[in-house]
Amino acid sequence: MSRESRWWFLRKVARLLMSGFRRVEVRHFHLVFLSRDQLCSLAFPLSNIYFIACAYVRGFHSDQFQKCNKPVHWGVPFLLAALPFVARFSQSIRPYSFHSLHIQGGKYLTGIMYFFCYYLWRHKGLDRAGHDASFVFFCLFGIIYSTYASLWDLLMDWSVLRPHARFKFLRQDLIYSRHAMFYYLAIITNVLIRFLWIIYIPTGGPSTPLRSWVVALFEVLRRCQWNMYRLENEHLGNMDQYRITREVPLPYSFDDLSHETDPGDEDDHSQPCESTRSARSRRRKVVR
């Protein structure tokens, strides 16, 4: 990556993180609003920036894990991991945001508290030795955040779990209607991965860094799956509002109207326009 490209990338990331404190221009809309949720799934790589920088400064010696992963430094990984959530929370509580975004801010606030309790409990050394009050708060905020985020994913981002929809507990329209089974599978896996933090609870077994890597890997896979159904729901919403359509059906029909032609012009042939009903039926076929 060239120097200009690196500076461009750093500026866009800075604008993305500061989107809650400054206005977002139209040319940055897609970068900010499509990338903001992706960073929330990169909490594990972001939290390891401090460790990588420390190991690089020390020359990658054999004792780098003991030197760079001291419990007294737990605040730095927490701040790096919670940075995307802080940016999203600040963006959600802006005075001129939509009401739904204010509700969404609660999800990011509970996510910040979840990471705070997790790093506090882990770097106190109790993740392998025992449990205390920090463990109780870690489980409490873990349950709240996972439930909050799962419901928001399904009800708001994917628009599923509609009880009276044509596809039971999905939504009225599906692009891949012939493969509805995969929608149910995505709902189940999304919820399970949201609650994958419970693998930290057992004191025995694999090390905590290995468990963190497993959780981070499944979170990235969940985000890839989330992107597919989120974009599908956005596309269907745009079609319903006629933002994306080949033809806009007219509110009236020409079928019952008589057309008079000019007798002196034999080349003019009036063509009856397509009715609104037929246009809508073709649009449904496109959606399906």
Stated pTM of the model: 0.76
- Count each helix (H run) and each strand (E run) in the chain, helices first: 12, 0
Confidence band (pLDDT; 50, 70, 90) for 276? very low
Give the three-class secondary structure for 62: coil
What's residue 275's pLDDT?
Answer: 47
Query: Of 213, 208, 88, 205, which Cα lies nearest the Cα of 152?
Result: 88
Burial classification of residue 147, based on how many CB atoms lie within 10 Å of its CB (0-12 exposed, 13-18 middle, 19 or more buried): middle
Could you give the CA distance from residue 108 to residue 82 in angstroms, rounded to a whole number? 9
Could you give the CA distance from residue 101 to residue 92 in angstroms, rounded to a whole number? 5
Give the three-class secondary structure for 284: helix
Burial classification of residue 209, based on how many CB atoms lie within 10 Å of its CB (0-12 exposed, 13-18 middle, 19 or more buried): middle
Could you give the CA distance from residue 156 to residue 188 in angstroms, rounded to a whole number? 16
Q: What confidence tens digit (pLDDT) does each residue in 70-102 have?
A: 777 788 999 999 998 998 888 887 765 555 667
Q: How many CA atoms lie within 13 A of 20 on its CB side?
A: 18
Are 194 and 118 within 8 A, CB to CB?
A: no
CB under 8 Å to 87, separation ≥6 — which residues?
16, 17, 18, 19, 20, 36, 39
Query: Of 109-118, 155-164, 252-261, which has the strongest mean pLDDT?
Result: 109-118
What's residue 62's pLDDT?
Answer: 75
| Distances from the Cα of 160 to the Cα of 101, 233, 238, angstroms | 19, 9, 17
Query: Of 62, 77, 54, which Cα lies nearest the Cα of 208?
Result: 77
Integer distance in angstroms from the first to the last C-alpha of the chain? 42
The DSSP H or E segment spanning 80 is: helix 75-92
pLDDT tops 90 at residue 255: no
What's residue 91's pLDDT?
Answer: 80
Confidence band (pLDDT; 50, 70, 90) for 51? confident
